[in-house]
Chain A
Amino acid sequence: MTRDNVEAEVGPFVAARERRVHIIQGEYYVSDDPHVVLTTLLGSCVAACLRDPIAGIGGMNHFLLPGQDVPLAGGEAGSQGREAERYGVHLMELLVNGLLRSGARRERLEAKLFGGARTMEGLSDIGGLNAGFAERFLRNEGIRMIGGSLRGDQGRRIQFWPVSGRARQVFLSPAQIPPPRPSPAPKPSGGAVEFF
């Protein structure tokens, strides 16, 4: 039996070559490498795992919308809610565009969403707002949601294999939940004027 045959048949050889890429809040990563596994820790944040199964390309982001006034049903929101949405849309767009640049096709994209937990009693349900935003984004953009796990009251550790689309979730104890970082408001210089 050649080494290639052994590797084809014995999982641990493949697992040993796995390259783990950890995604933190505000980041995204796209890969077509079957040995890459994307990981993240989620409390009220949401991670979108997107993949084109034909092209064998996938990616993950990790976001927390700034502010709390995010419309859940696509209706009118205050201006703070719309700023939060712009930030969320930007992070989703970075991931989608990253996939398209790598050869994925928009109409083939499928998604798994994770996170959006209500991790602290008594506070407003920021996790639910993040989850609602992500679901609405997929619906608006016609991206099929094929799985995932949203809301609840427990944090999650997520692993996502971007080429196969396999995802693995482990619930965390309250002590393991990452504390939310300060809300990442849109960068003040983000829309800097470039007068010509």
Chain B
Amino acid sequence: MPFASALRVLIVDDQLTSRLLIRGGLQELGITDIEMAADGEQAFKIMTAKVPHLVISDFNMPKMDGIAFLRAIRNYEPTKKSAFILMTGRGDKELIERAKQHGANNVLAKPFTVPVLKAQIEGVVGRLK
């Protein structure tokens, strides 16, 4: 059972407002080790310096979308084991299937509540305490 306070999480979203809201939700869950990036390229640089346990990434981003970012993570040995939750406002089956094929651990449809965020995270890393 992981301690929320020990979990290192990276949020990737091109909208600052979204990043701040997700960070607020994580903090409500007791998660404090949080980094944020505005796109896949920036996130990948952060990840290679300090590998997070969990990545929560938006799908719809410029430069590198969430799936391309996921592929980059999975194809690089130091980062390939990080858990990955893809956020999407679309939630269509084709996208979910692609996410699954490329190694996403879960999908989170926007908008979501903190209890749903908690359930999604626990579905990947186990119950938080």
B partners with A: yes
* A interface residues, Cβ below 8 angstroms from B: 79, 82-83, 85-87, 89-90, 92-94, 96-97, 100, 106, 136-137, 140-141, 186-187, 190-196
A46 to chain B, nearest CB (A): 15
Q: Pick from B2-10, B11-19, B41-49, B72-80 the stretch touching chain A.
A: B11-19
A25 to chain B, nearest CB (A): 15
| Residues on the A chain within 8 Å of B117, using CB | 191
Number of B interface residues, CB 8 Å? 32
Q: Would you call A89 and B112 a contact (CB within 8 A)? A: no
| Residues on the A chain within 8 Å of B106, using CB | 193-196
Q: Would you call B24 and A93 a contact (CB within 8 A)? A: no
Output the nearest chain B residue to A189 by Cβ-Cβ distance: B109
| CB<8 Å pairs between A and B, sample of 18 | A82-B25, A85-B21, A86-B21, A86-B111, A86-B112, A87-B111, A90-B110, A94-B89, A97-B60, A106-B14, A140-B16, A141-B16, A141-B17, A190-B110, A191-B109, A191-B110, A191-B116, A191-B117
Contacting residues of chain B (42-60) with chain A, CB-CB under 8 angstroms: 60
B74 to chain A, nearest CB (A): 14
Contacting residues of chain B (72-129) with chain A, CB-CB under 8 angstroms: 89, 91, 96, 100, 104-114, 116-117, 119-120, 123
| Residues on the B chain within 8 Å of A90, using CB | 89, 110-111
A188 to chain B, nearest CB (A): 8
Output the nearest chain B residue to A81 by Cβ-Cβ distance: B24
| Residues on the A chain within 8 Å of B24, using CB | 82
B38 to chain A, nearest CB (A): 11
Q: Among B21, B62, B108, B113, find the residue whose CB has the most chain A CB atoms closer than 10 A.
A: B113
Q: Of the candidates B18, B20, B108, B113, which one forms a contact with A93 in the assembled complex, judged by CB atoms under 8 Å apart?
A: B18
A140 to B23, CA, bound (A): 15
| Residues on the B chain within 8 Å of A96, using CB | 15
Q: Would you call A192 and B15 a contact (CB within 8 A)? A: no
Output the nearest chain A residue to B104 by Cβ-Cβ distance: A196
With A86-B111, A94-B89, A196-B100 known as contacts, the answer to whether A190 contacts B17 (CB < 8 A) is no
| Residues on the A chain within 8 Å of B15, using CB | 89, 93, 96, 140-141
Q: Would you call B96 and A194 a contact (CB within 8 A)? A: yes
A89 to B21, CA, bound (A): 9
A172 to B100, CA, bound (A): 50
| Residues on the B chain within 8 Å of A87, using CB | 111
A134 to B113, CA, bound (A): 20
17 further A-B pairs in the complex, CB-CB below 8 A; given A92-B17, A140-B20: A87-B111, A90-B110, A93-B15, A93-B60, A106-B62, A141-B15, A190-B109, A190-B111, A190-B112, A190-B116, A191-B109, A191-B117, A192-B91, A193-B119, A193-B120, A194-B96, A196-B104
